Structure 1
């Protein structure tokens, strides 16, 4: 008899704690969606090519932060793991770029840092978002 009461009390406590947790999670998720519904943060599944003065870049999607003006038009900034081809040498670099996105197409202007002659490396490119 005593074991039966203990098991029942444990089961009731477990159900009560689960219901409290689910109600708390539901209320916090609803308020978060309302306050930041126009901001997107995440990884872009995209592939892009960019060209600049004596530099060519092949860029893939990385982390980004965007503001959504409409369903199809977004503006933001992102980081792109890239393969930079310069002076007939290919080297991996991380580029940082502003992004203008319309539907699945992205205009980017990646910045790769400085070259050996202390000049900034900028390119301009077009990308397509697959995911």
Structure 2
């Protein structure tokens, strides 16, 4: 009878020890927030420069997150630029300053026929 009581108490003690071990291992670990993010921006923007109007849509980007709402980075934007009443599709590369869903961009489109660099400045809104 004593051996049965001893065995029962040993099993209860073992159950308590393993239950404590399980709860100790399931504790939540602190989550570190990623500072860099890469992906596609679902945005549309309008930019204007010297005799050039650009309509830009979101493309791939790489950004550094300073706060939850403020990010700075660089991205590529498929664009439609209008120069001298003529629309031309181009790919622009631009630095990005993003605050909440608003983006300030300065797209660079390359050179025109006169070997002059084409820059515009604009504002965009990020939907996704």
Structure 2-normalised TM-score?
0.75
Tell me the equivalent position of 1:51. 48
2:87 is matched with: 90
- Structure 2 residue runs without a partner (length 5+): 1-30
Report the RMSD for the aligned CA atoms in angstroms: 1.5
1:65 aligns with 2:87: no
Match of 2:99 among 99, 102, 112: 102
1:116 is aligned to 2:113: yes
| Structure 1 gaps, min length 5 | 1-32
Q: How does 1:1-80 map to 2 (within 5 A)?
A: 34=32, 37-80=34-77
Deviations 1:53-107 (A, max 9, x none): 0100000000000000000000000000000000110000000000000000000
Name the larger-Rg structure.
2
Aligned partner of residue 117 in structure 1, secondary structure: coil
Task: Choose the corresponding residue for 2:123, options 100, 121, 126.
Answer: 126
* Aligned-partner SS, 2:46: strand
TM-score (norm 1): 0.73
**Distance (Å, rounded) in 1 between the aligned partners of 2:66 and 2:108:** 25
Residue deviations 1:7-46, cap 9 Å, x none?
A: xxxxxxxxxxxxxxxxxxxxxxxxxx85x81000000000
